[in-house]
């Protein structure tokens, strides 16, 4: 794991603690989850990351102790990222990962096209929904939310904001993630528990079966035949929907290099659209090559005045309405869903 991947992984762990609040932070700090490990030392060892100098090591340790104070989490993420980046920039190690070899490897990939859009409508959304994935089916919005015990599967009328069905499937160990619908079945990922819940579309009161996914669960979509799954790295997997056996995979990259933290997914007209965790844009991926061919920049989509301090979280949630040709975009605990048309 290189420096950038470590920062992203650590940031997600910090962010998940912030998102889960009291559900994760207990009196005993060993209950804090870092890939299910007891402490940051286990996390560093598991990710095979070796801090290059004392500054990097200390900044990582500071972030760990900041877990005990939720109000310090944002500061910890920013400080860790800055200090680790600073230490990397000032390292005397000549083996810089962004070298001529890396540049030449990806230089043949054309720069992505900037995909412009028009906002055609805005709808109210439950700010209690820690949105992990959304999907449109027969005029209804199916949503998977996270935050451990608050994780749920929801069916809503997105135009009115009415929640028509809510199934709480989370526990102190189960964190809901991406969702997709294929062959009249709803597939719902979980983050670290290696479980995929499968519901019959006609009866979502409880899962009809569970499947085992051996990696982390982040984003989920389908191409009509295969499930398409992200695990927070730059790899996207194509899996058999009956067994979750991996059929093939692609590495997501642009002309600048690999793109990690691939999160929520949606398959639209032969391409994979993906949120990149902690970023305010959606990338368009060629499923044959993994190359990023387009970018939808969504900076300031939700205005600062619309954000609820301490509540509104990051951009996350893409759904395609094939009837109207519109794309729905939202975020974790956002008060709105935006309907967009690509120009």
Nearest to 236 by CA among 180, 286, 293: 286
Give me the residue label for tokens 């309405």.
321
pLDDT band at 86 (very low <50, low <70, confident <90, very high): very low
Distance, in Å, from the CA atom of 324 to the CA atom of 120, rounded to the nearest integer, reads 11
pLDDT band at 91 (very low <50, low <70, confident <90, very high): very low
3-state secondary structure of 54: helix
pLDDT band at 103 (very low <50, low <70, confident <90, very high): low
Query: CA 282, 82, 318 angle in degrees (round to 5)?
Result: 15
For the segment 18-23, the average pLDDT, to the nearest whole number, is 40
Question: Residue 4: what pLDDT?
Answer: 56
Write out pLDDT tens, residues 153-198: 999 999 999 999 999 999 999 999 999 999 999 999 999 999 999 9
DSSP single-letter state for residue 11: H
Q: What is the mean pLDDT of the chain?
A: 81
From residue 76, alpha-carbon distances to 70, 72, 180 in Å are 10, 6, 34
DSSP single-letter state for residue 68: T
Higher pLDDT, 79 or 8: 8
148: left (phi over 0), alpha (psi -120 to 50) or beta: left
DSSP single-letter state for residue 232: S
Rg (CA), the chain: 20
Write out pLDDT tens, residues 22-33: 333 332 333 333
- Record the tokens describing residue 146, joined without a space: 């996270």
Residue 82 CB coordination number (10 Å): 12
Nearest to 131 by CA among 87, 91, 163: 163
Percent of the chain whose predicted confidence (pLDDT) is above 90: 68
Distance, in Å, from the CA atom of 288 to the CA atom of 270, rounded to the nearest integer, reads 10
- Convert 65-78 to b/e letters by CB count within 10 Å (16 or more is b): ebbeebebbeebbe
For the segment 266-278, the average pLDDT, to the nearest whole number, is 97
Distance, in Å, from the CA atom of 48 to the CA atom of 66, rounded to the nearest integer, reads 22
Write out pLDDT tens, residues 207-236: 999 999 999 999 999 999 999 999 999 999
Write down all domains in the chain, each with its CATH number in brackets. 3-97 (no CATH), 113-342 (2.130.10.10)
* Cα 242 from chain centre: 24
Task: Give the DSSP H or E segment for 3.
Answer: helix 3-20
Write out pLDDT tens, residues 49-78: 454 444 444 455 555 444 444 444 444 544
Distance, in Å, from the CA atom of 325 to the CA atom of 61, rounded to the nearest integer, reads 48
Strand ranges in 41-101 using DSSP code E only, listed in sequence order? none
Nearest to 132 by CA among 190, 194, 177: 177
Distance, in Å, from the CA atom of 320 to the CA atom of 327, rounded to the nearest integer, reads 5
Question: Residue 24: what pLDDT?
Answer: 36
Distance, in Å, from the CA atom of 286 to the CA atom of 273, rounded to the nearest integer, reads 9
């Amino acid at each position: 794991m290189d420096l950038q991947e470590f920062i992203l992984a650590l940031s997600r762990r910090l962010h998940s603690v912030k998102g889960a609040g009291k559900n994760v932070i207990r009196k005993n700090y060993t209950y804090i989850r870092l890939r299910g490990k007891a402490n940051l030392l286990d996390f560093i060892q598991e990710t095979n990351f070796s801090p290059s100098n004392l500054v990097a090591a200390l900044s990582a340790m500071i972030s760990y102790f900041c877990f005990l104070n939720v109000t310090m989490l944002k500061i910890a993420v920013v400080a860790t990222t800055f200090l680790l980046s600073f230490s990397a920039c000032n390292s005397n190690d000549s083996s810089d990962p962004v070298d001529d070899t890396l540049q030449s490897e990806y230089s043949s990939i054309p720069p992505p096209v900037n995909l412009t859009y028009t906002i055609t409508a805005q709808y109210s959304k439950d700010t209690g929904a820690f949105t992990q994935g959304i999907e449109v089916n027969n005029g209804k919005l199916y949503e998977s939310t996270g935050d451990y015990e608050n994780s749920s599967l929801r069916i809503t009328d997105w135009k009115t904001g009415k929640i028509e069905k809510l199934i709480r499937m989370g526990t102190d160990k189960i964190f809901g993630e991406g969702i997709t619908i294929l062959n009249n079945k709803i597939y719902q990922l979980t983050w670290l528990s290696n479980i995929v819940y499968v519901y019959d579309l006609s009866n979502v009161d409880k899962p009809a079966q569970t499947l085992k996914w051996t990696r982390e669960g982040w984003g989920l979509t389908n191409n009509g035949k295969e499930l398409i799954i992200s695990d927070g790295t730059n790899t996207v997997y194509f899996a058999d929907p009956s067994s979750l056996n991996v059929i093939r995979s692609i590495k997501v990259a642009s002309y600048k290099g690999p793109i990690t933290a691939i999160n929520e997914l949606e398959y639209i007209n032969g391409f994979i659209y993906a949120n990149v965790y902690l970023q305010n844009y959606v990338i368009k991926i060629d499923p044959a090559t993994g190359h990023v061919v387009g970018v939808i920049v969504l900076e300031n989509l939700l205005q600062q005045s619309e954000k609820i301090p301490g509540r509104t979280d990051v951009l996350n949630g893409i759904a395609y309405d094939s009837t109207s040709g519109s794309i729905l975009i939202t975020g974790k605990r956002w008060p709105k869903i935006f309907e967009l048309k690509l120009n």
